[in-house]
Amino acid sequence: MSPVARLGGGRSPIWMWTRPEGVESAALDQLRAIASLPYIHHHVAVMPDVHLGKGATVGSVVAMREAVSPAAVGVDIGCGMAALRTSLTASDLPDDLGAVRSAIEAAIPVGHRHHADVSTRVRRSADLWDAFPGLHPKVSGLLGRAMTQLGTLGSGNHFIELCLDADDAVWMMLHSGSRNIGKEIADAHIRVAKGLAHNTGLPDRDLAVFLAGTPEMAAYRHDLRWAQEYAWRNRQTMLALYADALRGFFPSLRVPCPPAEGPHMGEAAFANVNCHHNYVAEEHHYGADVLVTRKGAISARAGEYGIIPGSMGTGSYIVRGLGNPEAFASAPHGAGRRMSRSKARRTFTLDDLRTQTAGVECRTDPGVLDEIPAAYKDIDEVIGFSGDLVEVVARLRAVLCVKG
């Protein structure tokens, strides 16, 4: 149960579940900057899908004592995955899934779109909206937008997929976060953190931290909890809309009931997973109570189910955590990019995209070229490096993909 590599270069060591030579030099420099912070507890854990991020590296797990860095969470607070195993099997699906994809795209706004009005389903989240006036003043006027964006996909690497497992069971899966409201909250607090005196002289101003016992920390933790809850409910709302769209073609469709928020344990949880991979949690590691930020990483406590997705046209995995203490009980969040979006657009053609997504009902236009599978790391290699972090319980193969 050991990392592949251990690096020095900062106040704290860096433990990596991948080979350093496979990580871009800028990301390694960024990890060393994180490890130089005086608040780091024990070490920085680096997942197999690691790549350069803003301020903090994507694919990093950072435990801090009495402090938290918003950049180590990311601006899409609560971004994560959800998956449901349905009652359908491969034999229930038509040969042409084009109409099904169109129905899903009609039911769930993608990209910068949002719902035209606020549905009854959204209004039921009254406790979420009751807490809204207490958020940072910079977002106080965004309640209407937040309500119409609940149950929407977003853009970039967010997606909705219809998948098959090895037993030909049909799964619904999606990837999304807290939409623009989470980014607004993150940006507002990062600006506050950068202005605090104790953050003077940091190796990267984007690594600014809040300290425990301060009003700034309390305000950030309050807003962070709200955004994480919003992201979780956003995925649950989309799953309900997704199921409604599918029932137009498959009236007998049944899906498991939503689980309570929290650790996903047991057989029932295997069929219904909703997990963050950009978030903060209060945990106990190496003899201390700490704040753990996972940016591009999932919780993988012993017996806890999670999702490690691939890219368009590749496989994804339902996994069960092994609770590896050296990784702060964490695992990777997906394939992780191996090249920038601009480089992907320069490198590949639409013919390449069609070839790499053959057999998947999806868009193959210029708007999604930067999401081509070859722009991402090999998901099977990522899983290979994760053998002491999780065990695989199901491999999913996409047959339909909706992109933002």
Lookup: tokens for 308: 């490690």
CATH number at residue 297: 3.90.1860.10
**344 in any annotated domain:** no
Task: Tell whether 369 is covered by a domain.
Answer: no
What stretches of 177-214 show up as alpha helix (H) in DSSP? 179-194
The answer to the question of residue 366 being in a domain is no
According to the 3-state scheme, what is the secondary structure of 216-280?
A: HHHHHHHHHHHHHHHHHHHHHHHHHHHHHHHHCCCCCCCCCCCCCCCCCCHHHHHCEEEEECEEE
* 349 located within any domain: no
Segment 211-227, tens digit of pLDDT: 999 999 999 999 999 99
CA 296 – CA 334 distance, rounded (Å): 8
**Using the 8-state DSSP alphabet, how is residue 264 labeled?**
-
Q: What is the pLDDT of residue 272?
A: 85
| Tokens representing residue 162 in the block | 């219809």
The amino acid at residue 366 is: P
Q: How many CB atoms lie within 10 A of CB 204?
A: 16
Q: What is the pLDDT of residues 74-91, one digit of tens each?
A: 999 999 999 999 999 999
Domain with 141, as residue range(s), is 5-338+376-403
pLDDT of residue 121: 80
Residue 152: inside a domain? yes
pLDDT at 201: 86
Residues of the chain with pLDDT under 50: 259-260
Distance in angstroms (rounded) separating the CA atoms of residues 149 and 143 = 10
Q: Is 196 exposed, middle or buried (0-12, 13-18, 19+ CB in 10 A)?
A: middle
The closest of 221, 297, 302, 360 to 49, measured between CA atoms, is 297
Per-residue pLDDT at 86:
94
pLDDT attached to residue 317: 96
Q: Which amino acid is at 117?
A: D
Do the domain assignments include residue 351?
A: no
Return the pLDDT at 264: 53
395 occurs within a structural domain? yes
C-alpha separations of 25 from 29, 47, 51 in Å: 6, 16, 10
**Count of the separate structural domains present in the chain:** 1
Helices 215-247 and 179-194 pack at an angle, to 10 degrees, of 170
Phi, psi of 141, rounded to the nearest 5 degrees: -90, 10
Place of tokens 């496979």: 22
Which residues lie across from 63 on neighbouring strands? 292
Residues making up the annotated binding site for Mn(2+) are 76, 158, 175, 277
Q: In DSSP terms, which residues pair with 81 in a beta bridge?
A: 175, 275
Q: Which residues are catalytic?
A: 333
Annotated binding residues for GMP: 157-161, 277-278, 309-312, 316, 333-336, 403
Asked whether residue 358 is domain-assigned, the answer is: no
